[in-house]
Amino acid sequence: MCGLTGLVCASEYDAEQARPAVASAMRCQRHRGPDESGTWVGGQAVFGFNRLSIIDVEHSHQPLLWGPPGAEGRYALLFNGEIYNYLELRAELIERYGARFTTDGDSEVIVAAYHYLGPSVVGRLRGMFAFLIWDNERRVVFGARDPFGIKPLFYAVGPRGAVFSSEKKSVLALANTIGIAPRMDRRALQHYLTLQYVPEPATLHDQVHRLESGNSFTLVPGGQPVTERYFAATFRPRTVNGDVEAKRLYHEIAEVMRDSVAKHMRADVTVGSFLSGGIDSTAIAALAKDHNPDLITFTTGFERAGYSEVDVAAESAAAIGVKHVIRTVSADEMMEALPLIVWYLDDPVADPALVPLWFIAREAREHVKVVLSGEGSDELFGGYTIYREPLSLAAFEKVPGALRKAMGKVSTKIPEGVRGKDLLRRGALTLEERYYGNARIFRDDQLRSVLRSFDPRVSHQDVTAGPYRESAGWDPVTRMQHVDLFTWLRGDILVKADKVTMANSLELRVPFLDPEVFRVASQIPLEQKITKETTKYALRQALREIVPAHVLNRRKLGFPVPIRHWLREEMHDWVLHIVRESQTDEYIDKPAVLRMVEEHRAGTLDHSRRIWALIVFMLWHGIFVEQRIRPVVPEPRYPVRL
C-alpha cells in the first residue's frame, strides 16, 4: 500500500528536467508511504514512489525495474495495492515461462506477468491495485485499476505530457509542468450535491480525472490514454430449488469467504480488523482469527444512545475471542478534525461516517499496519434496506403511466415533512428515475434554492444511464446492486475507506470485494437476497456457523454519526462560522443555506445531510481554491512497523 506518481513527458530532455518537480509533488502524499521513497527517470518517464512496506519488507523497492534475461531493466513499475494470488501466479510464470525473480514480493509478479501475458494480465490479478508500467523498448505506458475501484488513480494530460498519481494533490502540483491550469467543474459540483460524492471519472477540477474501476489503459508520450474496460460486473442469478441446492449455495459462499480472508491475511506485518455491530465485519474478524490467534479488532462510537455499536461489537469480540479496542468520538473532535480530513480526501465526500472512521484508523495504526474491513458485502449480497423498496412500491407498477405521473404532481402539493409525501413521489417514478444509489442529498427542486449555477440539463441519469443500460432485463433489486457497484461503492464507500486509512499510513483490505467472492455472489437469486423479513438472506445462512448468534440477523448501523442532533446543538455556531466565512458565493446562495441551518435548529425540517454536504464543500473550497484554510498536516505516524 503506497503512493505513486508518474510523469510521462513529451521528450527525454523534459523528463530529466522534471525529476525535482515529481519529487516535490510526492511530499503531499507521504502519509501513503512513509517507510521509504524514491524517484527514477528512464526515457520519457519520471516515476516517484512513497512506500508503506507490507510484503517483502526488506526488498521489493519501487520504482521497480525488471526485464527478462538479456533485457534486464526493460520495464519500470509503480504499484499501489496488494495482489493476494501473487504466490500462485509467480509459480505459474516460473513453470510455464521460466520467469526469474529477484524479490519475494507481489510487485515483481505484476511486471513479469505483463511481459509474458500482455495487457490480459489484469484479468489474472486477484487483489486491489493501481499501477503503471513503462516499457522502455516500446516507449509506452500501460496501467490499470482494480475491478471494484479499491485503489485510486488520478490523471491529467496536457501539451507537455501526462501525469498519474494516487493523490489528486500531486496531480495539481504537476499541472504547470504539463501545461494545464485546472479550474472548478460546475457540473461535477452539481453531481456532488445530489449524490454526496463526485462520480467517476470526474473530479471537482475540470482537467483532472480518475481512471475508472475495472479499466486499463495504454499511453504513448504526447498522446491521450486509450482505455479499455476489462471487468464488467455481470449478475447471472441461478435457480435454487429445494433445501439441498440452497445448502450447496450457502456452502459455496462460506468457502469462498474463507479462501478470500485467508489470502487477504497474507502479509509480513501485523494485521487487525475493524469490527462494528453487523454481520459483515464480524464474519471477517471471525475468519481472520483462524489465521491470527492474536488478532486485534477496532470499533468506534459516540456517547449518544442509538448512535453507537460499541457494546455489540465488544460482545462480538468476546465471543470470537479477540482483543478489542474502542475509540469514542465527540462533537468537538469532529469539528476540529474535519478540515484536515477534507484535505486528505482530495475531493469532497459528504459522508459523516468518514470522520469516526478516521479516528479509529488513527487508533488502529498504534497497534497494526493492516486492517480488514467489511466493505462491499451489501452491494454484492443485497444488504441495503432500500433494496426492499421494489417490494413496497410494487403496487405502483400496476398503475397506468399517466395516472402515476398525476400522482407525482399531487405529491408536490404536499408540504415537506408530511408522512407519505416521499412514498407518493417515488412511487410515481420509474426505477431509472428514482434510484441513483444509496445517497440522495439534494433533489432538483431543493438544489435550485441553494445552487446559483443549477443546470437542469445535469441529471443523476448522466451517471446511472450506463449501469442501467447494461442491466436491462434484470430484476429491480439486482439492477440497484449493479448501479451501486458503479456509483455509491466506488464513489463514496471505497474513497473514504482508502483516504482516511492511508491518511494514517494504515492499509485497509476488503475481502468481500474479491473477484472469486463476486463470482459466487453474482449467482444468488433474488429470493436468496431479499425477503420480507431481512436482507442478505443467503449470506446470513452461510455464516451461521461463523458469526455469533447475536449478530446473525441484526441490522447493521456501521459507523452512524449523530449529526442531526449535533447540528442543532454543539455544531450550530461552528456551521454558521463556516458558511459566513466561505467565499463560495459564486456557486452557493449563502442566505438560503443560513435559512436551512435555522430551520434545522428549530426542528421544522431535517436538513442535516444537506447542511453537511454544503459545509464539506465550503471547507474543500477554502482549502483547495481560496487557500484560506490551511490545515496543519502532521508528519506520518507509524509506531508499529511489524
As a whole number, mean pLDDT of residues 281-288 equals: 96
Residues contacting residue 403 through CB under 8 Å, at least 6 positions apart: none
Query: Distance between CA atoms of 52 and 260, rounded to whole angstroms?
Result: 22
pLDDT at residue 642, rounded to an integer? 42
Query: Distance between CA atoms of 36 and 274, rounded to whole angstroms?
Result: 26
- Length of the chain equals 642
Mean pLDDT of all residues in the chain? Answer: 92
pLDDT at residue 641, rounded to an integer? 45
444 is in an annotated binding site: no
Angle (CA) 235-240-244 rounded to 5° is: 140
374 is in an annotated binding site: yes
The active-site residue out of 2, 93, 458, 497 is: 2
User: For the ranges 38-47, 298-307, 337-346, which has the lowest average pLDDT?
Assistant: 298-307
Model confidence at 58: pLDDT above 70 = no
Q: Which residue has the cell 426542528?
A: 603
Task: Tell me if residue 9 is catalytic.
Answer: no
Query: Distance between CA atoms of 377 and 258, rounded to whole angstroms?
Result: 14
As a whole number, mean pLDDT of residues 467-490 equals: 96
User: For the ranges 8-17, 317-326, 401-410, 512-521, which has the lowest average pLDDT?
Assistant: 401-410
Q: HEC string of 569-627?
A: CCCHHHHHHHHHHCCCCCCECHHHHHHHHHHHHHCCCCCHHHHHHHHHHHHHHHHHCCC
pLDDT at residue 253, rounded to an integer? 98
Query: Distance between CA atoms of 292 and 295, rounded to whole angstroms?
Result: 5
Q: HEC string of 83-100?
A: ECCHHHHHHHHHHHHCCC
Place 54 in a pLDDT band, splitting at 50, 70 and 90. Answer: low
Of the candidates 359, 333, 329, 331, which has an alpha carbon nearest to the alpha carbon of residue 344?
Answer: 359
As a whole number, mean pLDDT of residues 263-287 equals: 92
Cis peptide before 63 (omega within 30 of 0): yes
Q: Which amino acid is at 602?
A: A
280 is in an annotated binding site: no
Q: What is the pLDDT of residues 226-239, one digit of tens each?
A: 999 999 999 999 99
Q: In order of start, what are the domains of the chain with their CATH numbers? A: 2-229 (3.60.20.10), 242-383+493-552 (3.40.50.620), 389-485 (no CATH), 563-624 (no CATH)
Place 475 in a pLDDT band, splitting at 50, 70 and 90. Answer: very high
Q: What is the pLDDT of residues 337-381, one digit of tens each?
A: 999 999 999 999 999 999 999 999 999 999 999 999 999 999 999
Residues contacting residue 243 through CB under 8 Å, at least 6 positions apart: none
- Collapsing DSSP to helix, strand or coil, 555 comes out as coil
